[in-house]
């Protein structure tokens, strides 16, 4: 018998490393596909550049477990296959038989592992659409030159009697959770209270019997991007080489845009923003501070003021039950002033995966996420019941929106009517609008960007031309960009880099 070679040769170690990395990439790609479906590369680039403190790490425990269990196991199995082939080769050689194929495999195992790694990189690249993203960075989209309306260059006139605004972002809330008869995808309506709220008010539906909402387009598919789109009328798109979101420590955040908060601040409004996590997550604090100078109340605010224990932390910070409780207190104080107010709040319990099950959640549905979604609907109804009893209610416009569709595609696949052809849309309703919406028989097709001028119109503001940013006032009947271009074409235009958008991103500063 020939002398056995040592196990830990350079070739074997390199082969093991290449295979392990390939397995990790494939596992990650499969997991991302199951959990998120089609991913927005812009969201990944953005999240790599901003603070993630305040996020809930349990959302990613699953992938870490898979990587550290299946990854090494698969690598060991693959190395075992090489060892088995090598053993077969030796036996055939000892018997005087040719073993050319097995010999080639054994001698080129490192090359094979590199090839496997390249395939894995290709799988991840396809899943994340990296090539398309990189190619788009060398383009110059015409959409801003053709369609963008600078809010500082048109007249925005406030009404004589200024209305208050309460703007509620509901995490991952979409109309799919309603039943098919009301425009949803569920067999049984999980959000019956919210369904009736929307149908009893304004949701820009065709005939007032089915829910309608915003379609998610490029640069609006995660929380911070949706907030930017709904208040600035533009998507949040970060160039791959950008460092303004990192080196400058968030001194600026889209300094070239003029937002809803700035319009209201310049018209004498008090501005407050309440969130149940840390305000610095995704740079929200910088955006809200530099675009309206909001008073921000977050997890640390309630800790520092002794309202929450110093070590209190559940889910992303504190649960929605407390968000609504603290919102009632904050709104009550704002309502006592003669100065108009704009209060923005954001819920979080319905974040993937499975949501946060609080003490108020029931057991009507067989899975946790459905029960959490149902609980969110009930909590909102209770909050609106309280609000309707306040003396300032009639002079307050209330807007309730989903920030983006849920990212948990695995859950969405369980909804019986979420099939090919069904269009998922975020929840949207406007209560106490200063202007009436008259259905035209055609369901409005719109995006989060259209909420900027629509919100001001609902508050009684008069907007010259009925357009701000890339958004269109939905009360005006003017064609939205989604209606004009269609979803695919609009996404293509928004994905492509724009010189004009760079001026919004960097303001008067030169790009570094």
Structure-model confidence comparison of residues 497 and 168, the more confident one: 168
Q: Are residues 18 and 125 in the same domain?
A: yes
Q: Is the pTM of this model over 0.85?
A: no
What is the tally of helices (H) and strands (E) in the chain? 19, 10
Q: Are residues 159 and 85 in the same domain?
A: no
List the one residue out of 110, 97, 155, 138 whose CA is nearest residue 17: 110
Give the number of domains in the chain.
2
Q: Classify residue 129 by burial, with Cβ atoms within 10 Å: 0-12, 13-18, 19+.
A: middle
Sequence-distant (≥ 6) Cβ neighbours of residue 505 within 8 angstroms: 238, 239, 242, 244, 254, 256
Where is average pLDDT lowest: 169-178, 320-329, 405-414, 471-480?
405-414
Q: Are residues 50 and 160 in the same domain?
A: no
474: its two tokens: 């939905």
The Cα 215–Cα 156 span in angstroms is 26
Question: Is residue 355 domain-resident?
Answer: no
Average pLDDT, the chain: 85
Q: Are residues 21 and 70 in the same domain?
A: yes
Q: Are residues 122 and 161 in the same domain?
A: no
Q: 364's torsion region: left (phi>0), alpha (psi -120 to 50) or beta?
A: alpha
Q: Are residues 106 and 155 in the same domain?
A: no
Q: Are residues 69 and 100 in the same domain?
A: yes
Tell me, what's the pLDDT at 382? 98
Q: What tens digit of pLDDT does each residue of 497-510 get?
A: 888 988 887 775 54
Average pLDDT, stretch 393-400?
Answer: 98
Question: Is residue 250 domain-resident?
Answer: yes
Q: Which domain holds residue 232?
A: 149-166+228-259+463-504
Q: What tens digit of pLDDT does each residue of 25-56 get?
A: 777 777 666 666 556 666 666 555 555 555 55
Q: Are residues 44 and 161 in the same domain?
A: no
Tell me, what's the pLDDT at 58? 59
Tell me, what's the pLDDT at 485? 97
> Residues of 468-484 as b/e, b for ≥16 C-beta within 10 angstroms?
bbbbbbbbbeeebbbee
Q: Are residues 17 and 127 in the same domain?
A: yes
Single residue among 136, 157, 180 that ends a domain in this structure: 136
Beta bridge partners of 304: none
The yes-or-no verdict on residue 319 having pLDDT over 50 is yes
Question: Is residue 104 domain-resident?
Answer: yes
The yes-or-no verdict on residue 243 having pLDDT over 50 is no
Q: What tens digit of pLDDT does each residue of 109-166 get?
A: 778 778 888 887 777 777 667 766 777 667 788 999 999 999 999 999 999 999 999 9
The Cα 473–Cα 468 span in angstroms is 8
Tell me, what's the pLDDT at 407? 85
Q: Are residues 94 and 118 in the same domain?
A: yes
Sequence-distant (≥ 6) Cβ neighbours of residue 277 within 8 angstroms: 54, 55, 298, 299, 316, 317, 348
Question: Is residue 477 domain-resident?
Answer: yes
Residue whose tokens read 């991007």: 225
The Cα 179–Cα 210 span in angstroms is 10
């Amino acid at each position: 018998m020939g002398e056995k070679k040592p196990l830990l040769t350079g070739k074997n170690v390199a082969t093991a490393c290449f295979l392990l990395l390939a397995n990790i990439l494939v596992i990650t790609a499969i997991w991302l596909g199951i959990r998120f479906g089609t991913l927005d590369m812009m969201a990944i680039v953005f999240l790599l550049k901003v603070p993630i403190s305040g996020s809930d790490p349990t959302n990613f425990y699953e992938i870490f477990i898979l990587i550290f269990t299946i990854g090494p196991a698969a690598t060991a199995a693959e190395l075992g296959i090489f060892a088995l082939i090598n053993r077969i080769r030796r036996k055939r050689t000892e018997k005087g038989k040719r073993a050319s194929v097995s010999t080639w495999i054994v001698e080129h195992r490192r090359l094979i592992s590199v090839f496997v790694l390249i395939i894995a990189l290709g799988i991840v690249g396809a899943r994340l659409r990296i090539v398309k993203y990189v190619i788009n960075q060398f383009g110059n989209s015409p959409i801003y030159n053709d369609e963008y309306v600078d809010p500082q260059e048109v007249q925005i006139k406030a009404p004589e009697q200024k209305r208050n605004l309460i703007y509620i972002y509901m995490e991952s809330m979409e109309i799919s959770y309603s039943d098919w008869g009301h425009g949803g995808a569920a067999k049984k309506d999980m959000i019956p209270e919210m369904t009736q709220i929307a149908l009893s008010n304004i949701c820009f539906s065709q005939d007032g019997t089915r829910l309608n909402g915003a379609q998610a387009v490029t640069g609006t598919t995660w929380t911070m991007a949706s907030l930017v789109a709904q208040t600035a009328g533009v998507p949040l798109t970060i160039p791959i080489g950008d460092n303004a979101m990192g080196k400058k420590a968030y001194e600026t955040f889209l300094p070239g845009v003029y937002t809803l908060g700035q319009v209201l601040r310049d018209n004498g409004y008090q501005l407050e923003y309440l969130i149940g996590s840390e305000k610095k997550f995704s740079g929200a604090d910088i955006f809200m501070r530099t675009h309206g100078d909001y008073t921000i109340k977050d997890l640390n605010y309630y800790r520092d003021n002794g309202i929450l224990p110093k070590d209190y932390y559940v889910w992303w910070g504190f649960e929605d039950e407390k968000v609504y409780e603290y919102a009632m207190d904050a709104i009550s104080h704002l309502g006592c002033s003669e100065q108009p107010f704009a209060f923005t709040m954001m819920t979080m319990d319905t974040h993937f995966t499975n949501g946060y099950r609080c003490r108020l959640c029931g057991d009507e549905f067989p899975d946790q996420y459905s029960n959490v979604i149902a609980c969110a609907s009930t909590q909102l109804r209770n909050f609106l019941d309280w609000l309707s009893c306040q003396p300032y209610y009639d002079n307050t416009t209330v807007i309730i929106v989903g920030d983006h569709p849920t990212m948990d595609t695995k859950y969405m696949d369980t909804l019986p009517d979420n099939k090919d052809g069904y269009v998922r849309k975020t929840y949207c309703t406007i209560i106490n609008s200063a202007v009436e919406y008259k259905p035209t028989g055609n369901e409005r097709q719109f995006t989060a960007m259209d909420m900027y001028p629509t919100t001001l119109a609902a508050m009684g503001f008069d907007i010259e031309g009925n357009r701000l940013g890339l958004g269109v006032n939905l009360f005006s009947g003017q064609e939205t960009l989604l209606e004009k271009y269609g979803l695919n074409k609009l996404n293509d235009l928004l994905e492509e880099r724009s010189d004009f958008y760079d001026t919004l991103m960097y303001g008067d500063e030169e790009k570094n």
